Structure 1
Amino acid sequence: MTEIAVVAISVAKPGYEEQLREAAEGIVGPTRKEQGALQYDLHRDVQEPRRFVFVERWESQEALAAHAKSAHIAAYKKAVADWVEHAEIRVLSKIA
């Protein structure tokens, strides 16, 4: 197994910061219980409070793929679709 790291960034549209924060907080608990989840932490950018960042670690690419297909992630994406100005997901492999 090769551990996978993910940085997922969402920038809220102006005025939707708190809705996005609450929705993002709501998926932390269920995701941490997923098989293969090693780390799933939500952060808010200090200098740009509309920017929310998930820092994730997964046991494998397969665990990450299962997470992406989970019901709570599908519901989250649907709920926040109109609140997000920009989203970016980076999947990383550790080299040092």
Structure 2
Amino acid sequence: MAEIAVVAIFVAKPGYEEQLREALEGIVGPTRNEQGVLQYDLHRDVEEPRRFVFVERWESQEALAVHARSAHILAYRKAAADWVEHGEIRVVSKIV
């Protein structure tokens, strides 16, 4: 199994920054307890406070797939659907 990394960016709709922040913070703890997670850190853009960025590392693509189907992620997606203006998730593998 090859380790993978994820960069996930979510931009809140204007006026929904704090709701989105709270929802994203709420998935950090449960995710850090998942099997296969190596790193799961939430950041807020210094220059654009509506932008939140996850930096993640997973043991494998399979571990990430299990995460994507987890109850807390599915609940987050449902709750935050109206708060996100733009979302982008990139799965990458380390070169060097």
Q: TM-score range by the shorter chain?
A: over 0.9
Moved over 2 A (4+): none
**1-structure distance, mates of 2:12, 2:61:** 28
Give the CA RMSD over aligned residues. Answer: 0.3
Code of the aligned partner of 2:16: Y
**2-structure distance, mates of 1:48, 1:16:** 13
Q: What percentage of residue pairs aligned between the two structures are identical?
A: 85
TM-score by length of 2: 0.99
Matches within 5 A, 1:1-96: 1-96=1-96
Q: Any stretches of 5+ residues in structure 1 without a counterpart? A: none
The size of the alignment, in residue pairs, is: 96
Q: Any stretches of 5+ residues in structure 2 without a counterpart? A: none
1:12 Cα deviation from its structure 2 partner: 0.1
Q: Secondary structure at the match of 1:22?
A: helix
**2-structure distance, mates of 1:61, 1:11:** 25
1:41 Cα deviation from its structure 2 partner: 0.2
Q: Secondary structure at the match of 1:18?
A: helix
